[in-house]
Structure formats: structure tokens, C-alpha cells
Structure 1
Amino acid sequence: MSIGIFDSGIGGLTVFKEVAENFPKADIYYLGDTARVPYGNKSKETIVRYSIECATYLYHNFNVDVLIIACNTASSYALETLKKILPIPVIGVVRPGAEAAVKYTKNKKVGVIGTVATVRSNSYEKELKNIDPSLEIYQKPCPLFVPLVEEGWIDNEIARLTVKEYLQELIDKGIDTLILGCTHYPLLKNTIKSLYPNINIVDSSIAIVDHIKSLNIEFNGSGKREIFITDESHAFDNFRKLLIGDAKTKKIELSDLCSL
């Protein structure tokens, strides 16, 4: 039994890391669409098309039994489409994160941070309200977090100042729970916690693990790990080494995706 994971680029490696650690016997195939990153500045139609291409590549080439959309933008716009066209469980990052936030919050005030596209989609607000309509939800795009993480500036003074600049407004609203609505953001988790130690932080990469476990699938493969990218990426290499060490990556041709 195997798991496929795709992301618009490199942030989904945080999901890959958590899934790999929690399902050691599962064969896991990761695809980072580094040639077309970011998805966040694309139209909904383009995001859906790219997501279909990544998902079907993993499904047809590796016969994956579960597919994870490790991208908040793709989860926000393409999840329902992929559920319709693939005969396997498809898991986005939004629903697991929303469920975890509802479980953690005590005062029902939840903050959501993410890319501009994810916040604009209101996907987290919709999921949270579906679970508990009484929640107060405050959203904030944090576009500088991604370049900070990709530069490796996750625990220096610049990171702390940037975190405070973005998050203080949400803290002042009285939130007790914060959803990290971008798969890059878990790398800033320790910095956020050092500044706001009383905040419950929801990391969707961890929430997804609980969601997979709830499927009660027995993964009994050989523990294979394969990582694919659609273009060479220095940022991807740095991020990969930071999270998962020297796991090898293989470049695939973009035409291999587009032809499916």
C-alpha cells in the first residue's frame, strides 16, 4: 500500500516528513511541481488543471492507494475535483487543520494565516464554520513567511520581527488557536511559540497523519521513498536537506505531466 503526495513546490516536504515518520512501512511518492510554483498567483482553472496533472501522474505511475494534496492553494481549489476523478481517498490539508483547530480552541477564537490565495479562497473559514458556526475566525495573509523559510531564516531576529508584525493583530483579537495555513509555515513554529507561548498552533502536516490513521489502512510496503520535481530548484535542495537529509530527487519532464 502506498501514499502519493504532491505540492506546488517545496513546502509539502513538511507533510512528507511527518507521513514518512508515522508510516515507516508505506511506500511514499512525492511530487513537487517546482517548474510551475507558485500556484497561488494562478487562476482557479489553472490551479485545478495543474493539480489534476500532478495527481494523475502519481496515480497512474505508482498506483497509490491514498493521495495527499500537500498544498493549501490546491486543497482550497482542486480537492473536490480530484475526489470525483480518482477512485482512492484524497486528503487535502484544509479539513484536517480545521478539525484540529476546533478540538484545540477553548474560547472559539481561531486565527488562520496563509498565502494571499489561500486566505482569499476562504477555504479554512468555510470548513471551520461547517464544523462549528459559533466560531470567530480571523484571517491574515503572511506572504513574507515563504521566502523567509526558503532562505533558512527561521529563528533569527528578522524572523521574529516578521512574525510579530503579522501575528500581533490576530493576538490582539484574542485568538487562542492559530492554523498554519501553508506547508512552509511549520518551520516557523518554534519562533511563533517563543513569542506567543500560550497559543495553540495547528500544523496541518501533523493533522493529516491523524486523518490517514482514521482510514484504517494497513500500509505494508517496503518503506520506499521517492521524490520527484519538475525543475531544478536550489530552494528545494536546501529545504529537503533541512527536513529530510540527503534523500535523492529525480527530475521529471513537465511534458510527462501535461500529456496525462
Structure 2
Amino acid sequence: MANILIFDSGMGGLSVYREVRRSLPTHQYFYLFDNACFPYGELGETRLVERVLELLTNFVPKHDIDIVVIACNTASTHVLPALRERLHIPVVGVVPAIKPAAEYCRLHGFTHIGLLATPGTVSRSYTAELVQSFAADMQVSMLGTTELVKMAEDKLAGLPVDMTRLARVLAPWRSDDGPSALVLGCTHFPLLAQELSQCLPGVQLVDSGQAIARRVASLLLQAPAAEAGDEQGVFGHVYCTELTAKAQAQSGAFLGEGFAGLKTFVI
């Protein structure tokens, strides 16, 4: 049994956790979300790197973590090199699923891909490099927003999704010449998959969850097994960095995924 850490600024990592656990159901999972600094898309790069390094270099040894999944596109684009220098275990990041979206479009004779992500991910040179490498022959339109991040968080806290607001955000793509495939370039966005499909009917949604699960599985074949946890029958432990009323409301979503009660991790 390995100890697998899923890390995000909020609840978006649940979309990644579901895919990883579907592939690797017998391991023990830890989920840490940094709600005290949510959302990461609004943090400066220097502060973001400092914050993630501070949290994970303390959390990982305390809980004997074997592999870390940075289930946040914003953090992945900024923090991975520094984090891999500091941790001596595998660290897996997420990148926008441009490649599988391009493959889907070519297979079906489509030419237009949409990338829905945070403003930071949309503006990163790495994203442009992905498009150039895998979709240079496609029309790739990009939309950067943090509104959907907050909408996904509210949904998991039990609040209804404002479909009028969502339609307003997606307005540039709600036409006959809109994208045929939509890359969900933030791990929060698959949590709104049903609502996105209602606003963009017929558009294929593509995310990185399955690719991340395959990468984690391949790395664990080379990683040492962890000791079993002390709490028998509990395979998931969830931590936030600030115990707010909203975090407590969101904890119900974790209970539904098999996690134990919400705890606080403060450094």
C-alpha cells in the first residue's frame, strides 16, 4: 500500500483523485487543499512557489507520502521544478490535455479546439508550446477564467450552479463555429462537466485525469510500498489549511468519496 497525496488549492483535485483511485483502488490517499490561499490563479508566481514548497516539504515527511500529485494546473506550471529539487519522491503535475483533444478532432474530422483554463495557464508559454507541438494544424481558441473555479467550489459546498452566469462566461463559444472539443485545463472544471455540456451541447470534453492516473501507476511500480495506516478501514484522509464554514460544508463531498473527517494542517 502506497501513501498517495493529491494536492490543490481547493476541491478541483477531486476530479483527479477519482481517476487515480479508479485505477489504483488499494492504496491509501491523502488530500490536502490550501483553501487559506485559494484560488492559486490569483497568486503571484513567487508567492505561489514559496507557499507550495512550504506546505509540501512539511506535509510529505509527516505523513510518509510516497508520491505527490499536484492536481492544479496553475501550481504545476510554476512549482514542479523547485518541488522536485526539494522532495525525494515522485511528483506528478497536470498539463492541459491538448494532445488527446487534437487526436479526437483529427479522428472525427474536426478542426477547432477550445481551451478553458485559468488566466495563468492560458498565458503561459508552456501552453503555447503544447499547442505548437500537438495542435499546430488546428484552430485553438482559449478562454481564461477564475469564475468557474469558484463555481465548482460552491457546487461542492451544496450551492446550485448559476447557469446564467456560466452561459455568460462561455458566450464566445456558444455559436455554430464554436469548438468541437473543449480541453478542461483546470482540475476544477470536470466537476462542472454536466453543466458545461448543457451550455455547449455536442462538444467533447477532454481532461487530464486518465493520463495522470496512468502516470501514477507507472511510477508506483518503481516506488517502495508504504506501511499500512493506523486507522483500519480508512483509506482517505483530507486536510485543509483553514477550517472555515465553507470548508466544513465541502467536507461532505470528501465523505462521499471515502475520506475520513476533515482535519486542519497548519505550518
Given that 1:154 and 1:187 are in contact with CA atoms closer than 8 Å, whether structure 2 keeps it comes out as no
Alpha-carbon distance, 1:218 to partner: 7.8
Aligned 8 A contact 1:179 1:202 in 2: yes
Aligned mates of 1:45, 1:250 — CA distance in 2: 27
Distance 1:136 1:53, change over 3 A: farther
Partner of 1:43: 44
What is the root-mean-square deviation of aligned Cα atoms in Å? Answer: 3.0
The 3 A distance-change label for structure 1 pair 108 and 114 is: same
Structure 2 partner of 1:109: 112
Corresponding position: 1:188 with 2:192: yes
What is the deviation of 1:153? 8.7
What's the % identity of the aligned pairs? 28
Contact (CA 8 Å) 2:10, 2:153: kept in 1 or not?
no
Q: How many residues were matched structurally?
A: 253
Which ranges of structure 2 fall in alignment gaps of 5 or more residues? 229-233
Residue by residue over 1:42-96, the C-alpha shift from the partner in whole angstroms, topping out at 9 and shown as x without a partner, is 211111111212332343223322211111210121123223333332211215x
Residue aligning to 1:238: 249
> Which residue is 1:118 aligned to?
121
Distance 1:102 1:154, change over 3 A: farther
CA distance in 2, matches of 1:239, 1:170: 31
Which one of the candidate residues 145, 166, 171 is aligned to 2:169? 166
| Residue 236 of structure 2: aligned partner | 225
TM-score of the aligned structures, taking structure 2 as reference length: 0.80
User: 2:187 aligns to what SS in structure 1?
Assistant: coil
Larger radius of gyration: 2
Aligned partner of residue 10 in structure 1, secondary structure: coil
Which amino acid in the other structure matches residue 205 of structure 1? Answer: G
Structure 1 residue 155, shift from structure 2 partner: 11
**Counterparts in 2 of 1:236 and 1:156: CA distance versus 1, 3 Å:** closer
1:142 equivalenced with 2:145 (yes/no): yes
Deviation, structure 1 residue 251: 0.7
Which runs of 5 or more structure 1 residues have no equivalent in the other structure? 256-260
1:1-260 matches, cutoff 5 A: 1-94=2-95, 97-106=97-106, 107-152=110-155, 159-172=162-175, 173-215=177-219, 217=221, 222=228, 224-242=235-253, 244-245=255-256, 247-253=260-266, 255=267
Q: TM-score, with normalisation over the residues of structure 1? A: 0.82
Shift of 1:216: 6.1
Cα 1:108–1:212 change in 2 (3 A) is farther
**Aligned equivalents of 1:127 and 1:69: distance in 2?**
19
Distance 1:193 1:155, change over 3 A: farther
**CA pair 156-110 structure 1, distance change in 2 beyond 3 A:** farther
User: Take 1:233 and 1:47, find their aligned partners in 2: how far apart are those partners?
Assistant: 21
